[in-house]
Amino acid sequence: MHYDQIISDTVKSNNSKIVMLVMDGVGDIRSPKFHNKTPLEYANTPNLDRLASESSLGRCIPILPGITPGSGPGHLGLFGYDPLQVTIGRGVLEAVGIGFDLKNGDVAARCNFATMNEQGRITDRRAGRISTEITESLCKKLKSIHEIDGVEIIIEPGKGHRFVTVFRSKDKEIGALINDTDPLEEGKSPITAKGENPPSEFLAGVINKFVQLGYDLLKDEHPANAFLLRGIASKPKIPTMRDKYLLESAAIAAYPMYRGIASLLGMTLLPAADSIEGLFKTYLEYRHKYDFFFIHVKGTDQAGEDGDFDAKVSCIEKVDRALPILLEHTPDVLAITGDHSSPCAMRSHSWHPVPILIHGPFTGADDVAFFHENACNQGSLGFFESKYLMGLLLSNAKRLDKYGA
Amino acid sequence: MHYDQIISDTVKSNNSKIVMLVMDGVGDIRSPKFHNKTPLEYANTPNLDRLASESSLGRCIPILPGITPGSGPGHLGLFGYDPLQVTIGRGVLEAVGIGFDLKNGDVAARCNFATMNEQGRITDRRAGRISTEITESLCKKLKSIHEIDGVEIIIEPGKGHRFVTVFRSKDKEIGALINDTDPLEEGKSPITAKGENPPSEFLAGVINKFVQLGYDLLKDEHPANAFLLRGIASKPKIPTMRDKYLLESAAIAAYPMYRGIASLLGMTLLPAADSIEGLFKTYLEYRHKYDFFFIHVKGTDQAGEDGDFDAKVSCIEKVDRALPILLEHTPDVLAITGDHSSPCAMRSHSWHPVPILIHGPFTGADDVAFFHENACNQGSLGFFESKYLMGLLLSNAKRLDKYGA
């Protein structure tokens, strides 16, 4: 019997509302560069602290000790998809992130417009970071390529110099075990696509023809006279949140990647404002329509990756000030955590356990009246892998029966 | 290398005595309904607190985070049988619980006397909760059915309206993948037994004949003119505590289910008084005869399930007052914990980690002088799955060699 099987055997439905507020990269470490306090410690957070005093606290280990997750595995863990078992290719994330409705069997690639010299070498892997508008007009040109060897080619522009290509085949199986064409270093030629098995070999052939045709269409453009494919991946076959948990789920997230992950898990994508107040107001507006809400705050991670301690503190304080909106109709179970830590002193994602707070009628209360890393070390949730969080939320919402007699 | 394999490769015998005192369902949560303290916090427990100051403390996770265990999985975990791997059917628990000596291959069912109307519909699934005496006399009637299709039928009365039927076959294999005959709702007819594979189909046929013959024998009885079979299960093949740990083990438990589990694991069932002093005195009396003692206190769980905070506090205080009896000859290693939490505010089992205390010559001491949930959060044992407890007890008893050179 596996954990997933226990959940699936014991899960039941009721009218409870669960909210998971993910402050991306919120976890941090004390550093002498930044007052020897973490942003959560340094920030003025009366609302979070009061909530902490009525909640159970702990630390989430995103993957396993010492493993730094990307945003994909970080979020998969939070939603109870074992990030060691379930993987989502980057191309797929990008495609669903711009709202593309991937079908089973589709293969998606993240693409960058790039600059190539007369020797066929890439001189700028991002084509001088051309604007979204230019990318849109170049994509229109590429869209004249509809089909190669019976495989439909679908081009969708993204932000800046980025676009997505989706390969869709009706008759013939296509595979995604294909290398990036991006040489990663400037001064090198794009890499020829190669497949690792017959369906991937077939698609690699299609991709190489697509590259040739596309470069021909762009040859008089400047600076974007080429493009590179990365993260070629098939849409994964994963159960939705409804399948796994009997939850009607919705995502309130402004950024493409998180909307993409949510949509792959079957969440409805709700309108997401840029402001934190706006995110919380969306919850209030839709709270009767769904069982589970994923609310994503991006600013904490951005600040961490920029090494901008003050910006991280400020984002945390904004969340704290907006919290009363969310608590106007307190969800039955509320979790506040992050998908990983992004310490300012590291300017990157990290492996450090993330503070977690669960508030609900059966969480009890710990001897802790602050929401920050060291306070959470003392909590009654202990240290646990993120993949167990959904089980805890379902239990707290009385949505799990007991296991065994 | 699996954990079980390490234990089996490194375990050795010595003269140490290990006592595991299980306060069933002792874990709890703070609730405003009950003084914002858990029963362990609220209770006056000078002996437990003094012991805590000389022990290592932590929190046991019965199964995995968020999973609420039944008593079976809860206890299996404490004895080091992975509750995700080892399962004991309810019929088997009931049979061994009333002291029935199940043989390999036996299939057991929990049975209820019930009331059926003239249309063959069940009008009371518990036959008005008839007395144990009436159940005993009705079982005598049913005992006239000795054998059906070569399968021996053994009837044993239980408490109240309950009895156990054991099916034993000498020649032909019998299976237990058979549905309950209990329709679960009143106003419905008993369900015909069906087997999921040939040996179970065969026994299902036997069961249907047994039901017919039995109902004929009871047709003039009132209110118990029918019976229902539930939890049909085979005796599981699991190693004993002697096999796994080289421990001669004994159980001091008054309640059938816990005696049942202990007996399936090869423990000797010692006489168990109703009072907690009595349980501890039994330990004193038999302490030279066994290596390992499982002492089971039921009152904490009962009080939790009743939502009776004062009764839970009182039971904890009784354990505390009786503790000096146990400590008259302090075992080499003493563990005090529960099989799960049963918060008064929930009136049911729960997933919350259980306080654990291990006392012995090599446990050291933590910065904690209380035995309760929040104190245990600070302990040196951390949060760990119950299935690792036996390893900790064996190590503390110097019964495990090191792993690897």
Mean pLDDT for B325-335 is 97
Alpha-carbon gap, residue A270 to A281, rounded angstroms? 11
By percentage, how much of chain B surpasses pLDDT 70? 100
A383–B69 C-beta distance less than 8 A: no
B378–A382 C-beta distance less than 8 A: no
Identify the DSSP state of A235. Answer: P
Q: Which residue of B has its CA nearest to A376?
A: B377
Of B84, B85, B90, the CB nearest to A405: B90
CA distance A134 to chain B (A): 50
By three-state DSSP, how is residue B248 classified?
coil
Q: Which residue of B has its CA nearest to A59?
A: B383
Mean pLDDT for A354-368 is 96
pLDDT for the residue numbered B274? 84
For chain A, how far is it from start to end, CA to CA, in angstroms? 15
Alpha-carbon gap, residue B393 to B405, rounded angstroms? 22
Contacts of A386 in chain B (CB under 8 A): none
Mean pLDDT for B340-344 is 98
Mutate to test the interface with A, among B351, B356, B376, B385 (most CBs of A within 10 A): B351
Contacts of A6 in chain B (CB under 8 A): 63-64, 67, 84
Q: Which residue of B has its CA nearest to A11?
A: B67
Take residue A393 and report the two structure tokens written for it. Answer: 């939320």
Take residue A326 and report the two structure tokens written for it. Answer: 């969310």
Q: Which residue of B has its CA nearest to A10?
A: B67
B68–A395 C-beta distance less than 8 A: yes
Nearest Cα to Cα of residue B130 among B218, B223, B217: B223
Alpha-carbon gap, residue A347 to A305, rounded angstroms? 4
Determine what percent of chain A falls in helix, strand and coil, rounding each to the nearest 5.
Answer: 35, 20, 45
pLDDT for the residue numbered B303? 97
Identify the DSSP state of B183. Answer: -
Q: Is the pLDDT of residue B33 over 80?
A: yes
Question: CA angle A348-A354-A357, nearest 5°?
Answer: 145
Q: What is the dihedral of CA B2, B3, B8, B10, to 10 degrees?
A: 110
H/E stretch holding B355 reads strand B354-359
CA distance A369 to chain B (A): 13
Mean pLDDT for A70-96 is 93
Sorted by sequence, the CB contacts under 8 Å of residue B285 that are 6+ apart come out as: none
Q: Is the pLDDT of residue A314 over 80?
A: yes
Contacts of B64 in chain A (CB under 8 A): 3, 6, 388, 391
Two domains, one topology: A3-88+238-396 and A93-234: no
* Check whether domain A93-234 has CATH 3.30.70, yes or no: yes
B interface residues, A as partner, C-beta within 8 Å: 28-31, 36, 38, 59, 61, 63-73, 83-85, 87, 90, 93, 231, 343, 345-346, 348-353, 373-374, 377-378, 382-383
pLDDT for the residue numbered A99? 81
pLDDT tens, residue by residue, A107-153: 999 999 999 999 999 999 999 999 999 999 999 999 999 999 999 99
Q: Is the pLDDT of residue B25 over 80?
A: yes
B383–A378 C-beta distance less than 8 A: no
pLDDT for the residue numbered B405? 85
Q: Beta-strand (E) ranges in A208-273?
A: 226-234, 249-252, 268-269
Quickly state the pLDDT bin for A394 (edges 50, 70, 90). Answer: very high
Write the class of the CATH domain B9-87+238-396. alpha beta
A363–B65 C-beta distance less than 8 A: no
Alpha-carbon gap, residue B192 to B180, rounded angstroms? 8
Alpha-carbon gap, residue B400 to B52, rounded angstroms? 24
Alpha-carbon gap, residue A107 to A95, rounded angstroms? 10
Nearest Cα to Cα of residue B329 among B283, B372, B370: B283
Mutate to test the interface with B, among A2, A6, A244, A245 (most CBs of B within 10 A): A6
Of B31, B66, B350, the CB nearest to A394: B66
Q: Which residue of A has its CA nearest to B29?
A: A364
Cα→Cα distances B152→A30, A81, A217, B113, B145, Å: 71, 48, 84, 21, 9
Identify the DSSP state of B232. Answer: E
CA A165 to chain centre: 20
B373 CB neighbour count, 10 Å cutoff: 27
Of A364, A384, A389, the CB nearest to B30: A364
Of A363, A393, A394, the CB nearest to B29: A363
Quickly state the pLDDT bin for A104 (edges 50, 70, 90). Answer: confident
Cite the DSSP H helix spans in B230-355. Answer: 241-245, 256-264, 276-286, 299-306, 309-327
pLDDT for the residue numbered A159? 87
Take residue A139 and report the two structure tokens written for it. Answer: 């994509």
H/E stretch holding A116 reads strand A107-116
Alpha-carbon gap, residue A398 to A400, rounded angstroms? 6
Give CATH superfamily name and number for A3-88+238-396: Alkaline Phosphatase, subunit A (3.40.720.10)
Q: Is the pLDDT of residue A160 over 80?
A: yes
Take residue A72 and report the two structure tokens written for it. Answer: 């994909």
Mean pLDDT for A29-49 is 97
Q: Is the pLDDT of residue A405 over 80?
A: no
Contacts of A392 in chain B (CB under 8 A): 65-66, 351
Nearest Cα to Cα of residue B236 among B265, B258, B203: B265
Length of chain B, please? 405
Alpha-carbon gap, residue B17 to A157, rounded angstroms? 72
Domain ranges of chain A: 3-88+238-396, 93-234
pLDDT for the residue numbered B101? 87
Q: Which residue of A has its CA nearest to B376?
A: A380
Sorted by sequence, the CB contacts under 8 Å of residue A101 that are 6+ apart come out as: none
For chain B, how far is it from start to end, CA to CA, in angstroms? 15
| ipTM metric | 0.88
Alpha-carbon gap, residue B303 to B311, rounded angstroms? 6
- Average pLDDT taken over every residue of chain A: 96
